[in-house]
Amino acid sequence: MIAIEGERMGNKTLALADVASHVESGMTIGIGGWGSRRKPMALVRQLLRSDVTDLTVVSFGGPDVGLLCAAGKVRRVIYGFVSLDSIPLDPHFRAAREQHGLPVTEYDEGMFVAALRAGASRLSFLPTRAGLESDVLRRNPELRTVASPYDDEVYVAVPGIRLDVALIHLNRADAQGNGQYLGPDPYFDDVLAMAADRCLLSVEKIVDTAELTATAPPQSLLISRLFVHHVVEARNGAHFTSCEPDYRRDEAFQRHYARSAADPDAWRTFTEEFLTGDEDQYQAAVKSLRTLEGAPA
């Protein structure tokens, strides 16, 4: 009986190198975080190293969306915004929109969250006031309004989004998939996990279950193991976005990324230096760049 219970609880740890085997071409993937904050960049880099393509990406986007667009992995982006925070627009996403006509579904932030909540609840839509009397409806002519059966209110009926896979990065988790955030904001990572058929959670550190609440309150346990299929330990796995309180955004590297994106030759150099090797080589290249620039390694 003990063995059966242990098997049911399950050790869900997964090697970073095996992440891409859980994502197939043509899938709809949701990427957690917010802009250039706590993005699952190590997981995204694994997709860049794979042959997966034709993805529909659902995200409050940042460099995750930009890098996937630059690598030709994206069929469509569904988003509330795509920003690097301290840099207003991701340059690769902007180029994909302006130069290559990338198909997008652009929602108001409130509508975007409503779509995810509908997907998490297995509903075909949710009503919301967000987007009413705005150009969002003009940009998305497939959207419909719905009248309340109880009064004269009219709402936007935002269609639910179900995800094949959600990619999320948190501070800590146990081997069973209970995920903990320690920073200032949960964003909507828990909703993404619930809206997905499969959730891959990367963390800075995998710890014993008891350690999760030894120094942090239970409400910091953002994601239940019920919604997590695999846990990946990826130290510095959100780089170059922030993962507070573990580390802040690497602003110097982000500027280097944005400058490189503006020139094809510079981008080839960036790709060769940071994106052609495995994750250990990426982290070593980042450390080497910091040392060259005189910043602490």
Band of residue 185 on the pLDDT scale cut at 50, 70, 90: very high
- Rounded CA gap, 38 and 168, in Å? 8
**179 φ, ψ to 5°?**
-105, 140
Residue 294 has pLDDT above 70, yes or no: no
- pLDDT, tens digit (0-9, with 9 covering 90-100), for 219-240: 999 999 999 999 999 999 999 9
Residue 4 has pLDDT above 50, yes or no: no
Band of residue 293 on the pLDDT scale cut at 50, 70, 90: low
- Rounded CA gap, 195 and 268, in Å? 36
Residue 25 has pLDDT above 60, yes or no: yes
Q: Which residues fall within 8 angstroms of residue 42, CB to CB, at 6 or more apart?
A: 16, 169, 202, 232, 234, 236, 237, 238, 239, 279
pLDDT at position 290: 78
Residue with tokens 């469509």: 76
Q: Are 183 and 142 in contact (CB under 8 A)?
A: no
Residue 15 has pLDDT above 50, yes or no: yes
Q: Is 53 helix (H, G, I), strand (E, B) or coil?
A: coil
The whole-model pTM stands at 0.93
The single-letter DSSP state of residue 226 is G
- Rounded CA gap, 267 and 278, in Å? 18
Which of 220, 106, 235, 124 has the alpha carbon at shortest distance from 169? Answer: 235
- Supply the mean pLDDT for the chain: 94
Taking the CA atoms of 188, 194, 197 and 199 in sequence, report the sign of the dihedral they define. positive
Residue 1 has pLDDT above 60, yes or no: no
pLDDT at position 291: 74
Q: How many CA atoms lie within 13 A of 37 on its CB side?
A: 15
**124 φ, ψ to 5°?**
-75, -25
Which of 139, 244, 130 has the alpha carbon at shortest distance from 186? Answer: 244
Q: Are 174 and 212 in contact (CB under 8 A)?
A: yes
Mean pLDDT of 38-65: 98
Q: Are 195 and 168 in contact (CB under 8 A)?
A: no
Residue 8 has pLDDT above 50, yes or no: no
Q: Which residues fall within 8 angstroms of residue 220, CB to CB, at 6 or more apart?
A: 180, 181, 182, 212, 213
- pLDDT, tens digit (0-9, with 9 covering 90-100), for 66-117: 999 999 999 999 999 999 999 999 999 999 999 989 999 999 999 999 999 9
pLDDT at position 295: 52
Lowest mean pLDDT among 65-69, 214-218, 281-285: 214-218
- Rounded CA gap, 153 and 43, in Å? 43
Strand positions, DSSP E, the chain = 28-31, 55-61, 74-82, 104-106, 125-128, 144-147, 154-159, 163-173, 179-180, 196-206, 221-223, 230-233
Residue-range domains of the chain with CATH: 10-250 (3.40.1080.10)
- pLDDT, tens digit (0-9, with 9 covering 90-100), for 122-173: 999 999 999 998 999 999 999 999 999 999 899 999 999 999 999 999 999 9
Residue 35 has pLDDT above 70, yes or no: yes
